Amino acid sequence: MWLAFWRSRNRLSLDELRYLTDQLFKIQVVNEVNKDFVIEALRSIAELITYGDQHDSAFFEFFMEKQVMGEFVRILKISRPVGVSLQLLQTLSIMIQNLKSEHAIYYLFSNEHINYLITYSFNFDNEELLSYYISFLRAISGKLNKNTISLLVKTQDDDVVSFPLYTEAIRFAFHEENMVRTAIRALSLNVYHVGDVSVNRFVASPPHSKYFSNLVKYFCKQCLELNELVSDALKSGPEPPSTILAVVDELEDTLYYFSDITSAGIPDVGRLLTDEFLKHLVFPLLLPSLKTEPAYEVRIGSVTSLYLICCILHIVKIKDLANSIAAGLFFPPEVFVANSGNKANGFLSVHEPTNESKQPDNESLGSENDKKLKAYLVDCSTGTQVHEEAAVKANVSIDSSVALRETLLSYIRDGNNVQVLGSLSVFATLLQTKELDESMLDALGILPQRKKQKKLLLESLVGEGSGEEQLFSSESISMKDGLSGELDGYLQRIKDQYCVSTSSTEEGASPRCHRFQVLDALIALFCRSNIPGETLWDGGWLLRQLLPHGEAEFSSHHLVLLKESYRSCTRALLQETRGSWPDLVLTIIINEWKKCKRAIEASSPRKEPKSILLSQWKFHEEVAPSESSIPAGERMCEVVKVFVLRHQLQLFSLGRALPEQPSINAQGDHPENSRAKTSGLNVSVPKPGTELKVVDALPCRIAFERGKERYFRFLAVSAGISGWLILAEELPLKQNYGIIRVAAPLAGSNPRIDNKHPKWLHLRIRPSSIPSLDPTKTSDGKVKPRAMVDGRWTLAFRDEESCKTALSMIVEETDLQSNEVEKRLKPLLDLENALGLSDIFQHETSS
> pLDDT, tens digit, for every residue of 790-838?
999 999 999 999 999 999 999 999 999 999 999 999 988 877 564 444 4
Which of 402, 588, 626 is closest to 506 using CA atoms? 402
Question: Any residues with CB less than 8 A from the CB of 251 and at least 6 apart, and which?
Answer: 219, 222, 223, 226, 311
Confidence of residue 365 (pLDDT cuts 50, 70, 90): very low
Mean pLDDT within 137-141:
97
What is the pLDDT, as a whole number, of residue 497?
Answer: 79
> Which CA distances in Å does 564 have to 526, 561, 569?
10, 5, 9
Burial class (CB in 10 A: 0-12, 13-18, 19+), 344: exposed
What is the pLDDT, as a whole number, of residue 678?
Answer: 84
- State the Cα angle at 209 between 207 and 210, rounded to 5°: 70
Mean pLDDT within 755-767:
95
Mean pLDDT within 238-248:
83
Residue 659 pLDDT > 60, yes or no?
Answer: yes
What is the pLDDT, as a whole number, of residue 685?
Answer: 82
**Helix (H) or strand (E) run with residue 752 in it:** strand 752-753
Do 501 and 363 form a contact (C-beta atoms < 8 A)? Answer: yes
In tens, the pLDDT along 288-307 reads 999 877 666 778 999 999 99
Which of 202, 106, 205 is closest to 154 using CA atoms? 202
| Mean pLDDT lowest among 91-105, 174-188, 419-433, 505-519 | 505-519
> Which CA distances in Å does 687 have to 290, 678, 740?
57, 17, 7
- State the Cα angle at 403 between 303 and 386, rounded to 5°: 105
Do 289 and 299 form a contact (C-beta atoms < 8 A)? Answer: yes
Confidence of residue 672 (pLDDT cuts 50, 70, 90): low
In tens, the pLDDT along 82-135 reads 999 999 999 999 999 999 989 999 999 998 999 999 999 999 999 999 999 999
SS3 792: strand
Do 456 and 465 form a contact (C-beta atoms < 8 A)? Answer: no
What is the pLDDT, as a whole number, of residue 237?
Answer: 67
Helix axis angle, 82-98 to 102-109, nearest 10°: 140
Spatial distance between the Cα atoms of 647 and 570, rounded to a whole number of angstroms: 9
φ, ψ at 790 (rounded to 5°): -75, 150
> Which CA distances in Å does 684 have to 541, 564, 673, 720, 724?
37, 37, 17, 8, 9
**Helix (H) or strand (E) run with residue 348 in it:** strand 348-349
Phi-psi region of 19 (alpha: psi -120 to 50; beta: other; left: phi over 0): alpha
Do 218 and 170 form a contact (C-beta atoms < 8 A)? Answer: no
In tens, the pLDDT along 219-235 reads 999 999 999 999 888 88
Phi-psi region of 638 (alpha: psi -120 to 50; beta: other; left: phi over 0): alpha
Residues paired with 714 in a beta bridge: 698, 727
Question: Any residues with CB less than 8 A from the CB of 495 and at least 6 apart, and which?
Answer: 501, 502
Phi-psi region of 657 (alpha: psi -120 to 50; beta: other; left: phi over 0): beta
Which of 722, 676, 670, 721 is closest to 695 using CA atoms? 676
- The 3-state secondary structure of 454-501 reads HHHHHHHHHCCCCHHHHHCCCCCCCCCCCCCHHHHHHHHHHHHHCCCC
Spatial distance between the Cα atoms of 557 and 382, rounded to a whole number of angstroms: 14
Do 667 and 720 form a contact (C-beta atoms < 8 A)? Answer: yes
Mean pLDDT within 711-738:
93
- Does pTM surpass 0.85? no
Residue 459 pLDDT > 80, yes or no?
Answer: no
Do 430 and 444 form a contact (C-beta atoms < 8 A)? Answer: yes
Do 582 and 576 form a contact (C-beta atoms < 8 A)? Answer: yes
Q: Rg of the chain over CA atoms, in angstroms? A: 37
Burial class (CB in 10 A: 0-12, 13-18, 19+), 109: buried
| Mean pLDDT lowest among 165-169, 563-567, 757-761 | 563-567
Residues in the chain: 847
What is the pLDDT, as a whole number, of residue 484?
Answer: 63
**Sign of the CA dihedral with 634 first, then 638, 641, and 647 last:** negative
Spatial distance between the Cα atoms of 213 and 462, rounded to a whole number of angstroms: 44
- The 3-state secondary structure of 356-380 reads HHHHHHHHHHHHHHHHHHHHHHHHH
**Helix (H) or strand (E) run with residue 727 in it:** strand 722-730
In tens, the pLDDT along 297-343 reads 778 999 999 999 999 999 999 999 999 999 999 998 888 876 554 33
Which of 262, 146, 135, 234 is closest to 187 using CA atoms? 135
How high does pLDDT run on average in the chain?
83
In tens, the pLDDT along 622-637 reads 445 557 899 999 999 9
Mean pLDDT within 14-29:
92
Spatial distance between the Cα atoms of 847 and 838, rounded to a whole number of angstroms: 15
Do 459 and 468 form a contact (C-beta atoms < 8 A)? Answer: yes
SS3 812: helix
Contacts 24+ apart (CB under 8 A), 338-341: 338/362, 338/501, 339/498, 339/499, 339/500, 339/501, 340/283, 340/284
SS3 123: coil
Alpha carbon of residue 701 to chain centroid:
54
**Helix (H) or strand (E) run with residue 43 in it:** helix 35-55
Per DSSP, helices labelled H in 415-448 are 417-432, 438-444
Do 720 and 682 form a contact (C-beta atoms < 8 A)? Answer: no
Which of 715, 732, 733 is closest to 724 using CA atoms? 715
Is the peptide bond preceding residue 207 cis, with omega within 30 degrees of 0? Answer: yes
